[in-house]
Amino acid sequence: MSAYPSASLKPAAADAASASAPGADAACAAPLPVLGRDVTVPLVTGGEVGYAALDYAASAPALQRVWDDVAAYAPYYGSVHRGAGYLSQLSTDLFEQSRTTVAEFLDCRAADQVVFTRSTTDSLNLLAAALPAGCQVFVFETEHHASLLPWVNARVTYLDAPRTPDEAVATLERALADREPYGPALVCVTGASNVTGELWPVRELAAAAHAHGARIVLDAAQLVPHHPVSVQDLDVDWIAFSGHKLYAPFGSGVLAGRADWLQDAEPYLAGGGASRKVARREDGGVDVEWHTTAARHEAGSPNVIGVYAIASACRALTEAGFDTLVAREQELIVRVREGLAEIPAVRVLSLFGDRAPRVGVISFVVDGWNSSHFAAALSAEYGIGVRDGLFCAHPLVRTLLGSEPQAQGECGAPDTAPGERSLNAIRVSFGAGTPDEHVERFVRAVRELVADGAKWQYRTEEGRCVPAV
């Protein structure tokens, strides 16, 4: 069967989506239009303003292109792999073509498997469940909890936060050299920090892992939306990421890489789709023959819409050209960092220093402000959405803020035990859907709040800082 029953279901052209963007003038235009670009929100000081979504590191808005593709497919939705009807066959084709699209986007090896999951967290938990017996895992304390916590059933060595890329490689090499010489080992590392945005030396870490007989999995949740990623060039064994970071927030993720550990492991979920043959035994039990393909770990009815959305986002980013997207994002990074550097009360958090390459993720603290209070004022008084807290990377943020307690009892201050410090930070993040005006408004808002204070009173409600009414 052909992939599409009619021209109406063919993927939308990227340039057509761009042309449909309302108000896409030179001051506001972004390379790739996203949903919500024309949403307005009320301000506590009166009136409304266009919402500045600057929390891409948590969930990026859907690309207009992705939404159009999903809307075109939705009437043709059907069950995947197990239906004889036309729509089921169509959906199966779409699902498997999406697998090919993702493999090409990641430049996978010919024998690699692409397994569709729910998220980066789900992908890494799947891999953790597939580890061979006796596997030793090495992970830096700087990881997001999604890549820090899944290895509870393995022997885990946690590595201290490095202060330079070279130190990261040296730290890993020492740890691997001290491990038992036999038995499987896995290194888990991020591609770009969800706290500082800094790029990690993935290629060098992969070389160190392989030199010591270990494998490596790359948490690319914050990398794939911002940079081209080649499994072969980086020489990683697996890569994990989420659709909702890649402008496709429809509940799907990816684990792509070597097939052997996945084929040898018990299915991540037991059920239909993962099983190839099931038969009753004479003793009353059940014999099961599991698939050896990616289906082994995709039990149940797949999220075909989420998978198709990821494939659509991969196509859109590829067609837009990463060189263009990266260059433009770097301009925004410079604009934000230079703007914050001009405000003495602001300190930007960093592991590797100001000169380190990075993506559009920047965390900071402001002298005299609790970060939750500051983030609430950005939202209520300027229509700017950022993130505050420890960003599901508690050890890293605590390392970066360990000597800088914030005021106890201030609006939104995190609960702490007696004698503990109240620690949280503010994170601004952006990408291919961010207009220039949003980052300009953000820098101006930070400057005004530091200079003049908040215009409104705030209170703590259920642990959050909110405008007082």
Nearest CA to 363 out of 57, 52, 53 is that of 57
What is the pLDDT at residue 288?
92
Read off the pLDDT of residues 436-454 as tens digits, 9 standing for 90 and up.
Answer: 999 999 999 999 999 999 9
Nearest CA to 51 out of 331, 330, 441 is that of 441
What is the pLDDT at residue 420?
55
Question: Which H or E element spans position 388?
Answer: strand 387-389
Q: What is the mean pLDDT of residues 88-110?
A: 97
| CA-to-CA separations, 244 to 15, 120, 216, 221, 389, in angstroms, rounded | 22, 10, 23, 9, 20
What is the pLDDT at residue 371?
94
Q: How far apart are CA 116 and CA 254, in angstroms?
A: 5
What is the pLDDT at residue 25?
43
Q: What is the mean pLDDT of residues 190-215?
A: 98
What is the pLDDT at residue 90?
95
Buried b (16+ CB within 10 A) or exposed e, 95-131: bbebbebbbebbebeeebbbbbbbbbbbbbbbbbbbb
Q: What is the mean pLDDT of residues 383-387?
A: 98
Helices (H), 342-370: none
What is the pLDDT at residue 10?
59
Read off the pLDDT of residues 276-292 as tens digits, 9 standing for 90 and up.
Answer: 899 999 898 999 999 99
pTM over 0.85: yes
Q: What is the DSSP secondary structure assignment for residue 120, as one 8-state letter?
A: H
Beta bridge partners of 277: 289
84: Cβ contacts below 8 Å, ≥ 6 apart: none
What is the pLDDT at residue 28?
52
130: Cβ contacts below 8 Å, ≥ 6 apart: 261, 262, 264, 265, 268, 297
Read off the pLDDT of residues 295-317 as tens digits, 9 standing for 90 and up.
Answer: 899 889 999 999 999 999 999 99
Q: How far apart are CA 429 and CA 421, in angstroms?
A: 26
| Residues designated as active site | 392
444: Cβ contacts below 8 Å, ≥ 6 apart: none
Tokens of 1: 């069967």
Read off the pLDDT of residues 82-98 as tens digits, 9 standing for 90 and up.
Answer: 788 999 999 999 999 99
Assess whether pLDDT exceeds 70 at residue 136.
Answer: yes
Assess whether pLDDT exceeds 70 at residue 366.
Answer: yes
The half-sphere exposure of 266 on its side-chain side, counting CA atoms within 13 A, is: 6
Q: What is the DSSP secondary structure assignment for residue 321, as one 8-state letter?
A: -
If you average pLDDT over every residue of the chain, what do you get? 91
What is the pLDDT at residue 181?
76
Q: What is the DSSP secondary structure assignment for residue 152, as one 8-state letter?
A: T
Q: How far apart are CA 169 and CA 152, in angstroms?
A: 24
Q: How far apart are CA 408 and CA 398, in angstroms?
A: 16
Read off the pLDDT of residues 322-332 as tens digits, 9 standing for 90 and up.
Answer: 999 999 999 99
Read off the pLDDT of residues 398-421 as tens digits, 9 standing for 90 and up.
Answer: 999 985 544 444 677 666 655 556
Q: How far apart are CA 435 and CA 423, in angstroms?
A: 31
Q: What is the DSSP secondary structure assignment for residue 139, as one 8-state letter?
A: E
Confidence band, pLDDT 50/70/90 cuts, at residue 259:
very high
Q: What is the mean pLDDT of residues 117-121?
A: 98
Tokens of 163: 């202060």
Q: How far apart are CA 314 and CA 104, in angstroms?
A: 9
The half-sphere exposure of 320 on its side-chain side, counting CA atoms within 13 A, is: 28
Q: How far apart are CA 208 and CA 230, in angstroms?
A: 18
What is the pLDDT at residue 423?
83
Q: How far apart are CA 199 and CA 352, in angstroms?
A: 9
What is the pLDDT at residue 84?
87
Torsion angles phi and psi, residue 127, rounded to 5:
-65, -40
